[in-house]
């Protein structure tokens, strides 16, 4: 009888051990396998939205688009925090590290630098990035269609060739283009490289100027004009954006048209661009996060390139250019001529 009892106890202990092993595996799976259908409830879910520089109009609109869409989908606004590094890389790193405590359902990053900072610490909190123009080149993911590194999101790949074509329709007599950017901005460098490739392909002349800080923008612009540039292209560069008003002032006084990659930069005085809707790309990023919250595996949510929404044109800048340079041939863009709806800034 004693032998029987011992045998039964032995079997029960074995079963208990096996059950414990499976329970542990199940627990690990629920923590680390983002294919789980169980996410936090809408009332309990917490999100952080992070931008390198909230004073950047485009970044602010994108962040607002993210937050508004999450709220529209039923998530509590009180559970969504917005963190602004105010243009300081050290502050950005501190913010990202403080958020990586496991208490957030997801972190939504605006722009390349904020996204790189989160991905580089190898956080296991899902990252949904907004408006990263070159996610693969920036080391954020390895494949747009198969997201990894706990990250996916939206790309605002700049349609450089289309912007140049549009520029040549608006100001057809342009002979030499000026390019200005900061070498510290990966996204801007990729855009400039694309522009150079296109200019070489069509046999266009160009000059390049680089800046280290926003204070360099004015002098670098003046150098481009002294080299004979009769149009200037501003890429998606946060540092140049900070000094873009001085660039516009120099160019407008000289009657030199300025083209760019952001509707916000047109609002700052550049002549025109083909651009995304900044709040719209924020909303699209939030929608991807919602897919994840509803149970879709992160790796099954491909990163997407958001296409152009409209041609943004600054008619006040156009008038200033023609006043400064009466011989400038300037053709007002139309939906038919540029193939996009016109968003006029006055």
Give me the average pLDDT of each 10-residue run along the chain (346 residues): 48 47 41 52 95 88 97 97 95 97 97 96 96 92 95 94 97 98 90 96 97 97 98 94 96 98 92 94 98 96 95 98 96 94 94
Question: Would you mind telling me the total number of residues written for the chain in this entry?
Answer: 346
Pinpoint the residues of the chain covered by CATH 3.40.50.2300: 47-156+277-305, 160-275+309-345
DSSP H helices, the chain, are 2-32, 57-72, 89-99, 112-120, 160-170, 186-202, 217-226, 238-242, 244-254, 263-267, 278-293, 315-324, 335-338
**How many Å apart are CA 320 and CA 322, to the nearest integer?**
6
Q: Measuring CA to CA, how many Å separate 318 from each of 1, 35, 328, 337?
A: 101, 52, 10, 17
Query: Tokens in use for 92?
Result: 């950005």
Edge-to-edge order in the sheet of strand 205-210: 205-210, 176-181, 231-234, 258-260, 272-275, 310-314, 342-345
C-alpha 159/C-alpha 338 separation (Å) is: 13
pLDDT recorded at residue 38? 52
- Tell me the CA distances in angstroms from 308 to 261, 336, 343, one per residue in order: 10, 15, 12
Measure the CA–CA gap between 34 and 95, rounded to whole angstroms: 24
- 326's CB contacts (< 8 A; 6+ apart) are none
Domain spanning 47-156+277-305: which CATH class is it, in words? Answer: alpha beta
Architecture of domain 160-275+309-345 in this structure: 3-Layer(aba) Sandwich (3.40)
Question: Quick one: residue 291, left, alpha or beta (phi over 0 = left, psi -120 to 50 = alpha)?
Answer: alpha
Spatial separation of the C-alpha atoms in residues 131 and 111, rounded to whole Å: 5
Tokens 């002032």 appear where?
249
* Amino acid 37: pLDDT: 55
How far apart CA 13 and CA 262 sit, in angstroms, is 66
Q: What is the pLDDT of residue 238?
A: 86
**pLDDT for the residue numbered 39:** 74
> How many Cβ atoms sit within 10 Å of the Cβ of residue 35?
11
Centroid of chain to Cα 37: 28
C-alpha closest to that of 80 among 44, 47, 42: 47
* 80 beta partners: 47
- In this prediction, residue 30 carries a pLDDT of 36
| pTM of the shown model | 0.80
């Amino acid at each position: 009888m004693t032998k029987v009892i011992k045998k039964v106890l032995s079997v029960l202990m074995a079963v208990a051990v096996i059950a414990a092993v499976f329970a542990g595996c199940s627990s690990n799976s629920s923590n680390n396998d983002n294919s789980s259908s169980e996410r936090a409830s809408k009332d309990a879910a917490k999100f952080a939205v992070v931008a390198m520089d909230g004073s950047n109009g485009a970044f602010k609109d994108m962040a607002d688009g993210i937050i508004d869409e999450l709220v529209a989908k039923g998530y509590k606004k009180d559970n969504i925090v917005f963190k602004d590094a105010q243009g300081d890389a050290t502050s950005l790193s501190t913010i990202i590290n403080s958020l990586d405590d496991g208490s957030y359902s997801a972190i939504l990053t605006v722009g390349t630098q904020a996204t790189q900072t989160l991905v580089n610490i190898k956080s296991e909190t899902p990252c949904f990035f907004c408006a990263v123009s070159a996610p693969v080149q920036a080391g954020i993911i390895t494949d747009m269609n198969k997201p990894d590194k706990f990250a996916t999101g939206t790309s605002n790949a700049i349609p450089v060739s289309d912007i140049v074509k549009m520029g040549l329709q608006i100001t057809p007599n342009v002979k030499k283009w000026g390019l200005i950017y900061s070498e510290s901005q990966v996204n801007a460098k990729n855009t400039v490289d694309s522009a150079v490739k296109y200019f070489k392909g069509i046999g266009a002349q160009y000059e390049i100027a680089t800046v280290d800080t926003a204070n360099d923008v004015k002098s670098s612009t003046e150098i481009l004009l002294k080299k004979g540039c009769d149009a200037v292209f501003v890429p998606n560069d946060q540092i140049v954006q900070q000094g873009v008003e001085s660039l516009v002032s120099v160019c407008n006084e000289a009657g030199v048209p300025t083209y760019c990659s952001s509707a916000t930069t047109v609002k700052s005085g550049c002549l025109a661009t083909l651009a995304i809707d900044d709040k719209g790309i924020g909303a699209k990023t939030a929608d991807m996060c919602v897919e994840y919250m509803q149970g879709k595996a992160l790796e099954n949510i491909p990163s997407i390139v958001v296409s152009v929404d409209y041609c943004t044109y600054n008619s006040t800048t156009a008038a200033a250019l023609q006043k400064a340079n009466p011989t400038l041939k300037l053709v007002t863009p139309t939906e038919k001529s540029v193939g996009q709806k016109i968003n006029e800034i006055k």
